[in-house]
Amino acid sequence: MNSKKSFYTVLFISIVSFITVGFLYNFFNSDSIQQPPLDTKPYSIKIKQLYIPDTIALFNEPVPIQNFDTRESLERELLVNVYWQSQTTMFIKMVGRYFPIIEHVLEKNGVPTDFKYLALAESGLRYNVSPSGATGYWQFLENTAKEYGLVVNDYIDERYDIEKSTEAACKYLKKAYEKLGSWTLAAASYNVGIAGLSRQISYQYIDSYYDLHTNSETGRYVFRILALKLLLENPEKYGYYILPEERYAPYDFISYRVDSTIPDLAKFAQEHGSNYKLLRIMNPWIRSRSNLPIQKENPYTIKIVLDKNRIIK
């Protein structure tokens, strides 16, 4: 009797449990419980058409922007640079410090000032070293730098001197212009070489960069320079709103002409109201760590930022 009673008790409990579980399941999954509405709209990113003027000139030469291939090539480089926000923001902030120096040298040498954008495209106005060993503001290889009059040795590397390296770049660009007949082709040759570009021009019977078929790097090179020009001349049109006071001002420095060896660079900086760090920032062409050998017949100009002038105004 007890075993039979136990059987029915277990059976009753099982049936009640089953009914309870079913009730609870239906309750929590019924329409009476308000479910969060499903968003049936697809996610989207709103990107406006990039600003491209109807007429454009680069290096004082017209760009055939009416041609579909020219326009699409420019658009590609604009997309890359407009949406590379970190780098582009730094460019906008930096150029006010360096462009006036570069522009002055270009104008003095009769070279179009748009070539400042070539320096920006090459180095970002930083001291980057390429895998091939090119370095400095204009990314000269050592042998090429020496060919165009720059000093490169264990103590001095004038590829890092903004004025002198720009002078050397002017010599190259004027030579390329004389050989190729246009500043745009001279700019393209900075990437592939005068001889290499001349061969392509002869082979294709073409005298316009915009009609040449080249390797991908050279084919994009001038368009990147053009994209940087449009972007930096019209930053607000591309969504960049950086106030003048938020941009980097030119350095406030004093120049000293030195015609004898500096035995201790750190001490030299302190004696002139500065410090070693600031001396190295202002004179990156000094490659020696501690001293600077200078011959009297070959003096150098040292730029010094006074410690008191470091305060942002």
| Tens-digit pLDDT profile for residues 107-147 | 999 999 999 999 999 999 998 899 999 999 999 999 999 99
Torsion angle in degrees (nearest 10) through CA of 153, 156, 157, 162: -160
User: Which stretches of the chain drop beneath a pLDDT of 70?
Assistant: 1-47
| Tens-digit pLDDT profile for residues 8-47 | 565 556 665 656 555 555 555 555 445 555 555 555 556 6
What 3-state class would DSSP assign to 6? helix
pLDDT at res. 5:
52
Length of the chain: 313
Question: Which amino acid would we find at residue 228?
Answer: L
pLDDT at res. 91:
97
pLDDT at res. 32:
46
pLDDT at res. 139:
97
pTM exceeding the 0.95 threshold for the entire prediction: no
Non-local (6+) Cβ contacts of 88 within 8 A are 81, 82, 231, 240
- The helix (run of H) or strand (run of E) holding residue 200 is helix 194-204
Task: Give one DSSP letter per residue of 210-266, joined into a string.
Answer: GG----HHHHHHHHHHHHHHHHHHSGGGGT----GGGSPPPP--EEEEE-S-BS-HH
Angle at which helix 116-123 crosses helix 162-180, to 10 degrees, equals 110
pLDDT at res. 33:
46
DSSP helix, strand, coil percent of the chain (3-state; round to 5): 55, 10, 35
- 208, two tokens: 């316009």
